[in-house]
Every structure is written in structure tokens, then in C-alpha cells.
Amino acid sequence: MWKEKAVSQHPRKTLGFVIDLDQREKLFEQLKSFADANDFDIHIGPTTPSDVTFSIYMSRKDVIVWGDNALNQRGYDFAFYDNDPDNPVSEEVIDSLMSELKRFISEVPKVRIFD
């Protein structure tokens, strides 16, 4: 059901970044820390048997953050969605979460964040 919610609407904000492959575990640690700090449930799972591409799904009552590296093992794309499109959260909430996610990701060595 979450996939239908996210796919049926346009993202409120997007964030892209590139990491070195040897920093993937550090990235996952930082994403889990972001989720904990902002009351998100988080699931990180491989999308292929070779464990080189991953889907990252974070949700809470008002916002969904969904990301992956499906097109490039080093490059991740994240998108922010309203959990309930009929009751969107304020732009300030989305902007704050985006800034917070950038802050956590910036702790990964050699990361390059794209706006």
C-alpha cells in the first residue's frame, strides 16, 4: 500500500548524492540515525540478489521518505512524500526534514550531495 501512495503523487522534495562504495555501511548507519532522531520507521533492503542496489523506505504518520540506488550503485536518489496527500504537511516540515537528512548524510566520508 505504501508504494501506491508514493507512486500516485509527485515528490515534495528530492535529494541526490553519491558515495564511495566502501562507505555504504556508514551511510546506512547515518540513515538509521536520521530515522531515529525524526521518529521514522525505516527499512533498508537489497533490490537484487547481488546486494549492490538497495531500497530505503522511511515512514511516519505525516511523511514518507523513499530512496534507492537502482540506477547507479554509488548514486542515491531520495524523495519526500506526504503520507496522506489529502492532508499535506507544511513546506516548513519538509524543508526541515530535508535539511536534517542532508546533515546526517554529510557525515559520510567523501559524500557529494546534489540539490
Condensed to tens digits (0 to 9), the pLDDT of residues 47-85 reads 988 889 999 999 999 999 999 999 999 999 999 999 999
56 backbone dihedrals φ, ψ, rounded to 5°:
-120, 120
The three three-digit cell numbers of residue 70, written as one number: 537502482
Whole-prediction pTM = 0.90
Express as a percent the part of the chain with pLDDT over 90.
88
Instruction: Give the pLDDT confidence score for residue 77 in this predicted structure.
Output: 97
Out of 3.30.1330.10, 3.30.160.110, 3.30.2130.30, 3.50.50.60, the CATH code matching 2-114 is: 3.30.160.110
**Is pLDDT of 1 > 60?**
no
Q: What angle do CA 82, 88, 90 make, to 5 degrees?
A: 105
Instruction: Give the pLDDT confidence score for residue 109 in this predicted structure.
Output: 97
DSSP 72: -
Q: How many Å apart are CA 102 and CA 9, to the nearest integer?
A: 23
